[in-house]
Amino acid sequence: MAGPSWDRYGEYLGLEKILTAQTPWSGTPGKADFAHEEMLFIVFHQTYELWFKQTLFELDDILARFSRPVLDDRDIQPIVARMGRITEILKILERQIDILETMTPQDFIDFRDSLKTASGFQSLQFRLIETRLGLKREDRMQFNHGSYDRDYADASRKAIHAAEEGPNLHDLIDSWLARTPFIADGDYTFWESYRAAVHVMLDEKEKTARQALDGDALGRELEAITRGRQKFENIFDTKDRVWRLSPRALQAALFITIYRTEPMLQGPATLLNLVMDIDSLLARWRYRHALMVQRMMGLSAGTGGSSGYSYLMQTLEKHRIFTDLFSLSTYLIPASARPPLPDSLSAKMGYRSGTGR
């Protein structure tokens, strides 16, 4: 009788394909023209692409759940779990650069020319991740005076266009936030209550300053308070908007952040935190990658045709997606100034438990 098949493992994982997919372009391993470090370079990129694949897989499930007409509260837990997984993958992707940096710039230059025009810039999966997260075509850096997808083959360009037309996390989060009940409940409107609290807080600050200071010191403090008032008006202003999130989504995000300890808001608050984690981890990866590029090639242009380090550093700022959630922190007020929620609303948002007496 035949014993257990030891080929199952390799068959299941498709190892025959994966482990024969490293073909250096500098030469043949074992021959004089082969650059030893190129193997690391290839394996390194391949592992990235596998993690990108897993990221897209998680992201697609998140988008599908968010796309339902009503987001069931039971969806929050799997969404949070998948987002948590994406953040762990991104952390690994950033740390992995340590391994590549065991290759010296001199090692890299020994095979760089054999890459011809191949560059991570052409990673289709990376573009799909950015697009599904919500990076818009018009917000991207111009590349070689053309659009970023100009030189892709037709099938890849089609995949990018389909992703641009399909759902993205930013916009789905916007509409999920905008649907949040509670920010207007009966006579209560969060926005009015918050605005009133901000003015009371700043009036109080002004009163204290007038009592404690005079002359230049008072002038400076009053100027700071006026700037503070203008800063808050900026968020209340619905005409001249500087935000990408819709006004209602912005209000809901602030509401969730301020009252995050209310039982029903804990899940949404965790979710918003994870979205910010994803955004900053992606920015951290961009920064580490740009520093590594500067170390490897100085100010040389990239094999993909960009200015290299300088282009990459600009994407760091310009390709952020959820900056509104970060900017909201400008508008947080101390707990002492926070308006209490009306009892009726608090009761709706809490799970009451007690002795029954």
- What residues line the site for ligand HEM (CB under 6 A)? 44-45, 48, 100, 108, 119-121, 123, 126, 289, 293, 296-297, 302-306, 308, 311-312, 315, 319
Element (H, E) at 211: helix 190-212
Residue 275 to residue 253: CA distance in whole angstroms: 12
Phi, psi of 184, deg, nearest 5 = -140, 120
Residue 58 to residue 274: CA distance in whole angstroms: 14
Judged by CB, which is closer to ligand HEM: 86, or 235? 86
Phi, psi of 168, deg, nearest 5 = -135, 155
Judged by CB, which is closer to ligand HEM: 54, or 238? 54
**Least gap, CB of 310 to ligand HEM (angstroms):** 10
Judged by CB, which is closer to ligand HEM: 149, or 277? 149
**Least gap, CB of 121 to ligand HEM (angstroms):** 4
**Least gap, CB of 130 to ligand HEM (angstroms):** 8
DSSP string across 299-339? TPPPTTSS-THHHHHHHHHHT-S-HHHHHGGGG---GGGPP
- Rg of the chain's alpha carbons, rounded to an integer? 26
Judged by CB, which is closer to ligand HEM: 111, or 190? 111
Instruction: For residue 103, give the 3-state DSSP assignment.
Output: coil
Could you tell me if 308 and 299 are in contact, meaning their C-beta atoms sit under 8 angstroms apart? yes
In Å, what is the CA distance from 148 to each residue of 137, 157, 284?
8, 10, 22
Judged by CB, which is closer to ligand HEM: 300, or 327? 300
**Least gap, CB of 316 to ligand HEM (angstroms):** 9
- Which residues have CB under 8 Å from 262's CB, separation 6+? 341, 346, 349, 350
Residue 259 to residue 265: CA distance in whole angstroms: 7
Beta bridge partners of 184: 189
Judged by CB, which is closer to ligand HEM: 38, or 324? 38
**Least gap, CB of 111 to ligand HEM (angstroms):** 10
- Of 114, 108, 137, 131, the closest CA to residue 44 belongs to 108
Residue with nearest beta carbon to ligand HEM:
302
Judged by CB, which is closer to ligand HEM: 97, or 349? 97
Beta bridge partners of 185: 188
**Least gap, CB of 136 to ligand HEM (angstroms):** 14
**Least gap, CB of 88 to ligand HEM (angstroms):** 17
**Least gap, CB of 166 to ligand HEM (angstroms):** 20
Judged by CB, which is closer to ligand HEM: 257, or 303? 303
**Least gap, CB of 89 to ligand HEM (angstroms):** 13
Quote the crossing angle between the two packed helices 169-178 and 124-133, to the nearest 10°: 10
Judged by CB, which is closer to ligand HEM: 130, or 324? 130
